[in-house]
A and B are shown apart, each in its own frame.
Chain A
Amino acid sequence: MNISPDDVVFWQWGGFPLNATVAYTWLVMALLTLISWLVTRRLSTGTEISRWQNLLEVLVSGIRDQIRDVSRQDPGRYLPFVGTLFLYIAMANLLNIVPGYMAPTGSLSTTTALAICVFVAVPLFGIAYEGPVTYLKHYVKPTPLMLPFNIVGEFSRTIALAVRLYGNIMSGTVIAAILLSLTPYFFPVVMQLLGLLTGMIQAYIFAILAMVYIASATSVQTGNKDNLPNNKLSNNNTDKAG
């Protein structure tokens, strides 16, 4: 039984295998891009809009609202990154209902890749927001003694993110497979539904967590300047969420 889509190799070119993870990722990318392009080709700026445009607008404005709620900042800068995280994971998980499809998010490679993206994006956004020196000073606060802990926290956060998504999606797939062998026909369908639900929730959690990390990297400094107790509170919250 192939648990990871990494192991399913469609085509090998030299040392680079074209496995199911990459192939289905391309499928998801193609679908998302195609839908977006088809819909945004003819956008209406009036009050009469098509259903698809309405759907996309609801999605985009919903993501923007979530980002604004979490970061208390203008969502424009974070929208492409966080929104794409959500849309990609959601679409990848949603397609699980298609027979023969294997969710790329069920591969630890994909989730690791996404986590690494977040890992890199957090300091990048922080530096872009407040400059490199101010951001890096953040690691030696409150005292330089905390520097190793801060770095460890940074890494552990990334790993937790990766494993959480991978574990959920993979476990869903694995449970479905096991149940299918034990009690065929009906019960796996229920599990499949549950898997869809979990997939959506995971997409949401992943995107929100990424946003929270980025927000903590950008807004903590502001909070320090303005109001200490509030800042501590938000730090605690962030730790719990992580």
Chain B
Amino acid sequence: MSVDWITVSAQIVNFLILVWLLKRFLYQPVIRAMDRREQRIAEQLEQARQREHQAQQQQQQYQEKANELDRQREDILSKAKENAEQQKHELMDQAREEVSDIRKQWQQQVEQEKQAFLKNLRSKSAGAIQAIGRKALSELANVELEEQVISSFLLRLKSLDHNTRKALTQALQESSEPLRIHTAFELDPAVRGRITRAVHEHIVEGIETEYFESEQLLCGIELNAGAQRISWSLADYLDGLGKQVEDAFASTSSSNR
């Protein structure tokens, strides 16, 4: 156990050389490599972080865009629905109007046809009834009936109201024509005298009278003084009947409407 100082100095030199060698070949390169790797990893991490950040931003943007698109789509859809609804209403209204127009036209047409038909029917039926009545009454007319007609007429003359009588008198005085009396049948001179007397008594004293026969009067008698006229005739009744029939048809058709 001894210390060889030459060896010691040699070993010191050796050790210092080894320190330099290892520093040159081991520590520096290895540490540099590790540092570089760390730096690279840090850079990569930083890049990854940035990329993630960007990706998040982009995702957010896309999300916003998607939301916007959704909203727009909703808007468009709702607008389209509204439009469709409105159009539907308009079309429905139009269709309804058209239908009602057509119906009105049709109803008018029907009404017109009905009116025409009714008019036709009215006139025809009135005419027919009148004709039947006339025929039946003209066949039925005899002396007794004529007597009755005359007495009814006289009764009417008697019961004339003041105004009518005044108007008659005035009409007779204004016209110079004689008082005309139409009958459907031939009158006896005695009957004529009775009538003339009644006229003188109730209307104008001493007026001239003329007698005519008229088939149209139909079992009746008529007194004409200018525009004024007093009569009793079955034709009047028949005219009234015709009028009544027409009124009846008119009321039925109006109630049908």
Whether, in the assembled complex, A144 has its beta carbon less than 8 Å from a beta carbon of chain B, the answer is no
Q: Note all chain A residues with C-beta closer than 8 A to B6.
A: 15-17
Whether, in the assembled complex, B3 has its beta carbon less than 8 Å from a beta carbon of chain A, the answer is yes
Whether, in the assembled complex, B11 has its beta carbon less than 8 Å from a beta carbon of chain A, the answer is yes
Q: Note all chain B residues with C-beta closer than 8 A to A44.
A: 33
Contact A112 B3 (CB under 8 A): yes
In chain A, positions 28-77 with a C-beta closer than 8 Å to chain B are 29, 32-33, 36-37, 40, 43-47, 53, 56-57, 60-61, 64, 76
Contact A33 B21 (CB under 8 A): yes
Give A82's nearest chain B residue, CB to CB: B19
Give B9's nearest chain A residue, CB to CB: A113
Contact A108 B1 (CB under 8 A): yes
Instruction: Give complex CA distance A81, B15 in Å.
Output: 9
Contact of A108 among B2, B15, B23, B30 (CB under 8 A): B2
Whether, in the assembled complex, B31 has its beta carbon less than 8 Å from a beta carbon of chain A, the answer is yes
Beyond the given pairs A32-B22, A84-B18, A88-B18, 17 more chain A to chain B contacts, judged by CB atoms under 8 angstroms and listed by A's residue number, are: A6-B4, A6-B7, A40-B29, A40-B30, A43-B30, A44-B33, A47-B37, A56-B30, A57-B33, A57-B34, A64-B31, A80-B23, A83-B27, A84-B22, A110-B8, A110-B11, A113-B8
Kindly provide the distance from the CB of A23 to the nearest chain B CB, expressed in whole angstroms.
Answer: 10
Contact of B15 among A3, A19, A40, A117 (CB under 8 A): A117
29 contacts between A and B (CB under 8 A): A4-B2, A6-B7, A21-B11, A22-B11, A29-B14, A29-B17, A33-B21, A33-B22, A36-B21, A36-B26, A37-B25, A40-B25, A43-B29, A44-B33, A45-B36, A45-B40, A53-B30, A53-B33, A60-B26, A76-B31, A84-B15, A108-B1, A108-B2, A109-B4, A109-B7, A113-B8, A114-B11, A117-B15, A117-B16
Contact of A36 among B10, B20, B22 (CB under 8 A): B22
Give A38's nearest chain B residue, CB to CB: B25
Kindly provide the distance from the CB of B31 to the nearest chain A CB, expressed in whole angstroms.
Answer: 6
Total of A-B residue pairs, C-beta within 8 Å: 123
Kindly provide the distance from the CB of B16 to the nearest chain A CB, expressed in whole angstroms.
Answer: 8
Whether, in the assembled complex, A107 has its beta carbon less than 8 Å from a beta carbon of chain B, the answer is yes
Instruction: Give complex CA distance A116, B12 in Å.
Output: 8
Kindly provide the distance from the CB of A38 to the nearest chain B CB, expressed in whole angstroms.
Answer: 9
